[in-house]
């Protein structure tokens, strides 16, 4: 079965091998050397002042970012399931969130953010996705971050980049906390969260000692600056991350991102060529997202007959979307085969006669 869901993504053979050695203890020079290498590579890749690794899934880092960098009131952007989660976290911690809500295919506007910040001087943090995975939507994250800082220079900008980190270069100049997770573009097992921090963010942590206990970012930062973790590190996943970051550096980050972009462009064209509707108005490169009334039946056929496990939607769109992963080291042939399977499914559903247009267009554009 081809795992083509936009997280968890399949773990490549070289990463599985990097994680298959004897267990190492986290309080050893051997692990500290790996940990140091990984943090340096992440800081370089993400242009960040500091990087903290947490033993949790991405949501843990979302929660830690809100508890630490929002002390009064949060402005959240909800353009899908994960934006909704930011609002829920802010509510859970009494941050009285002001939520800007959008249809899942619609990018938020900079104007709405400007208005919300101008009218609400009590807002001290803004949180949003870079890619909202619910609808495969790319938000104008850089423009929103820049506008927020222009209006309120000391605001904290929290960006959930869980399906953007390792997908495309991210402009982090105006972002204070950039969140990533292991099971997306880095193609690792779930269980490791990444937080890239700005100088403004580390200054706050150094000044006030952080919030809470397990997810106390000041405690973590103090330890991680010394190449160790506050609690037991997820040693195995970090060994895998070391292998992935070495792979990206060897390939060149630009090439890694360019390959993702090329697969995405070819995929979008191919899907439209077989009459499918691209769901998001601003498609993120992390996945290929199509809307179809019969999406559930098409997906079932892809899975049972062609061995392709693509994701559906969530909530009201559960049976209306098909989401095909494009993060990490997905092979062009895997995308081509997934599109081929979808075209075959359309034939069976009586929507369109199969003629191989999907994979033909994909190959033509990808290898152009």
Ligand X SMILES: *Cc1c(COP(=O)(O)O)cnc(C)c1O
Interface with ligand X (CB under 6 A): 7, 57-59, 82, 129, 133, 160, 162-163, 181, 190
Instruction: Specify the residue, 244 or 270, whose C-beta has the smaller distance to ligand X.
Output: 244
Least separation in angstroms between CB 160 and ligand X: 5
Least separation in angstroms between CB 130 and ligand X: 8
Instruction: Specify the residue, 129 or 219, whose C-beta has the smaller distance to ligand X.
Output: 129
Least separation in angstroms between CB 132 and ligand X: 6
Tokens found for residue 30: 């051997």
- Give the separation between CA 291 and CA 329, rounded to whole angstroms: 25
- Give the separation between CA 257 and CA 255, rounded to whole angstroms: 5
Instruction: Specify the residue, 235 or 286, whose C-beta has the smaller distance to ligand X.
Output: 286
Instruction: Specify the residue, 129 or 234, whose C-beta has the smaller distance to ligand X.
Output: 129
Q: What are phi and psi of 362, to 5 degrees?
A: -55, -50
- Give the separation between CA 274 and CA 332, rounded to whole angstroms: 18
Cis peptide leading into residue 8 (ω within 30°) = yes
Cα of 102 vs its chain's centroid, Å: 19
Please check whether residue 126 is in contact with residue 99, taking contact to mean a CB–CB distance below 8 angstroms: no
Instruction: Specify the residue, 160 or 334, whose C-beta has the smaller distance to ligand X.
Output: 160
Instruction: Specify the residue, 82 or 362, whose C-beta has the smaller distance to ligand X.
Output: 82
Least separation in angstroms between CB 82 and ligand X: 4
Neighbours of 321 (CB within 10 A): 25
Instruction: Specify the residue, 100 or 341, whose C-beta has the smaller distance to ligand X.
Output: 100
Instruction: Specify the residue, 82 or 279, whose C-beta has the smaller distance to ligand X.
Output: 82
Alpha helices (H) along 79-161: 81-92, 110-119, 141-151
Least separation in angstroms between CB 62 and ligand X: 6
- Helices 357-366 and 253-273, packing angle to 10 deg: 150
Tokens found for residue 360: 């033909």
Give the chain's radius of gyration (CA, Å). Answer: 21
Least separation in angstroms between CB 348 and ligand X: 30
Instruction: Specify the residue, 162 or 245, whose C-beta has the smaller distance to ligand X.
Output: 162
Least separation in angstroms between CB 63 and ligand X: 9
Least separation in angstroms between CB 56 and ligand X: 8
- The C-alpha angle 350, 103, 271, rounded to 5 degrees, equals 35
Indicate the DSSP class of residue 85.
H
Neighbours of 21 (CB within 10 A): 9
Q: Give the contacts of 18 (CB within 8 A, at least 6 positions apart).
A: 239, 240, 242, 243
Q: Give the burial string for 88-112 (b: 16+ CB within 10 Å, else e).
A: bbbeebebebbbbebebbebbeeee
Least separation in angstroms between CB 179 and ligand X: 7
**Which residues are registered as beta bridge partners of 53?**
194
């Amino acid at each position: 079965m081809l795992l083509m869901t936009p997280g968890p993504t399949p773990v490549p053979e070289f990463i599985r091998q990097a994680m298959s050695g004897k267990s190492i203890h986290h309080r050893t020079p051997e692990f500290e050397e790996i940990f140091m290498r990984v943090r340096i590579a992440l800081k370089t890749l993400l242009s960040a002042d500091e990087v903290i690794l947490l033993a949790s899934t991405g949501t843990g880092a979302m929660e830690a970012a809100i508890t630490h960098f929002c002390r009064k009131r949060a402005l959240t952007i909800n353009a899908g399931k994960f934006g909704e989660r930011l609002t829920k976290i802010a509510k859970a911690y009494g941050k009285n969130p002001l939520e800007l809500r959008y249809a899942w295919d619609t990018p938020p506007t900079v104007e709405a953010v400007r208005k919300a910040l101008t009218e609400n001087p009590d807002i001290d943090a803004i949180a949003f996705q870079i890619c909202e995975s619910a609808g495969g939507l790319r938000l104008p994250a850089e423009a929103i971050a820049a506008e927020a800082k222009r209006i309120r220079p000391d605001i904290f900008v929290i960006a959930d980049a869980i399906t953007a980190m390792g997908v495309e270069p991210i402009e982090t100049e105006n972002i204070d906390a950039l969140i990533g997770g292991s099971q997306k573009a880095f193609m690792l097992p779930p269980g490791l969260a990444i937080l890239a921090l700005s100088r403004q963010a580390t200054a706050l942590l150094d000044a006030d000692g952080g919030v809470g206990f397990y997810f106390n970012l000041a405690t973590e930062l103090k330890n991680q600056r010394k190449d160790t973790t506050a609690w037991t590190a997820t040693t195995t996943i970090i060994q895998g991350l070391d292998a992935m970051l070495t792979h990206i550096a060897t390939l060149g980050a630009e090439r890694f991102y360019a390959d993702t972009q090329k697969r995405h462009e070819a995929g979008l064209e191919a899907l439209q060529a077989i009459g499918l509707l691209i769901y998001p108005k601003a498609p993120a490169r992390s996945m290929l997202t199509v809307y179809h009334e019969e999406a559930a039946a098409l997906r079932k056929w892809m899975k049972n007959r062609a061995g392709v496990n693509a994701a559906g939607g969530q909530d009201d769109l559960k049976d209306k979307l098909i989401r095909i992963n494009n993060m990490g080291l997905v092979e062009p042939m895997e995308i081509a085969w997934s599109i081929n399977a979808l075209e075959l499914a359309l034939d069976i559903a009586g929507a369109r006669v199969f003629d191989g247009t999907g994979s033909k267009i994909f190959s033509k554009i990808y290898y152009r």
